[in-house]
Structure 1
Amino acid sequence: MVRIILIRHGETTWNTEGRYQGQEDTPLSEKGIRQGMACAEGLKDIHIDRAISSPLSRSYETCRMAAEKHGLVVEKDERLTEISHGLWEGIHADEIEARYPESFYLWHTHPEKVQMPEGECLEDVRKRVRAAFDEYAEKYDGETVLVAAHDAVNKVIICDLFGMGIGRFWQIKQDNACINVLEYDKGIWRLVTMNSTPHLGYLISGMEQKGL
């Protein structure tokens, strides 16, 4: 069996501002650093064999805080990089809605049908992230793997592994620095924990972010 502890990065200032980040390498905010430290503390007594992260610093730094408590060096996997929002990156959600009203509406109603202008679609993300998870399941039998990624990445892989289809994207919530636990054994994926946040001091954040 392979156990994957899948986390989302801590908060960034763009998260709070409602700007679409995508593959822009935005750093953790002061609150995001505290969240990363709390996530690391929450995982310190869990056996972890290896740590893998998106190369973007907000995920890498969140992962590093946890990995250090286990004496691990974080491996980078480009396939875990956040969705490319193309021309939407760096723009506030309200401005995107004004500039691209039809695409923005479709993104929030049928996200599987949206091709980001000069960016990716969710199917692009699904293919690369599923390839990564299939590789982890094959290579790391008997291990517990910490994986740090992003909102869209986490939502897409959860939808895909459990047969929901990426059209159910918005039915999955991923708070900053949340913890998910997935297990793979004998060809079957099992969802053990999703969007867990008690290590951050609350069960339900009540926060809705406008940007990914």
Structure 2
Amino acid sequence: MVRIILVRHGETEWNAAGRFQGQEDTQLSRLGRQQGQQLAQALQDVPLQAVIASPLQRAAVTAGFCAAAHGLPVHTDRRLLEINHGRWEGMTAAEVQEQYKELFLQWHRAPHTVQMPGGESLADMQVRIREAMREYCRQYERQTVLIVAHDAVNKVAVCSALGLPLQAFWQIKQDNTCINVLEYDRDCWRLVLLNSVAHRGGLFIAEEQKGL
């Protein structure tokens, strides 16, 4: 059995502003760094054997807080990169809605049908995420692995693990530094925990981020 603790990075200034980040290499905000430290504290007694992160700073730095508490290095994997939003990257949700009205509406109603202008689709992402998860399950048998990635990456990973269609993308919420736990055993995935933010001081986060 492999246990994967899948988390999202801490907040960035672009998260707070509702900007589409995609593969832009944005940094954690001051609050995001605090969230990363809270996450590390929450996981300090969990026996981890490996820490893997997206190479984007917001994920790698969040992972670094957790890895340091366990004396582990952070391994990066480009397959965990956030979805490439193409020409939407750097734009606010309001700007995208104004310039790409129909496609923006389609993204929120039928995300599985959207090809980002100059970027990826969810199906494109799913190919690389599934490949990475299969590899982790082979490589880390009987171990617990921390994976620090991104909003869309985590949603697609959860959909893939549970056999859900990509149409279910918006039915999964991923707050900054949320904790998800997945277990893989005998060719079967099991969801143990989803979007836990108790380490941030509450049962849930009421705010909705717009640049997704």
How large is the Cα RMSD of the aligned pairs?
0.5
Partner of 1:69, secondary structure, is helix
Long gaps (5+) in structure 1? none
Structure-2 separation of matches of 1:102 and 1:163: 29
What TM-score, normalized to structure 2?
A: 0.99
Which residue matches 1:178?
178
What TM-score, normalized to structure 1?
A: 0.99
Structure-2 separation of matches of 1:139 and 1:68: 22
Which residue matches 2:159?
159
Which residue matches 1:96?
96
Which residue matches 2:117?
117
Aligned-pair identity (%): 54
Give deviations 1:14-42, integer Å, cap 9, x for gaps: 00100000000000000000000000000
Alignment length (residue pairs): 212
Structure-2 separation of matches of 1:165 and 1:139: 27
Runs of 4+ that moved beyond 2 A: none
The CA deviation at 1:207 is: 1.1
- One-letter amino acid of the structure 1 residue matched with residue 41 of structure 2: E
Please state if 1:65 is matched with 2:53: no
Which residue matches 1:54?
54
Structure-1 separation of matches of 2:73 and 2:138: 21
Structure-2 separation of matches of 1:115 and 1:134: 25
Partner of 2:7, secondary structure, is strand
Give deviations 1:190-210, integer Å, cap 9, x for gaps: 000000000111111101000
Long gaps (5+) in structure 2? none
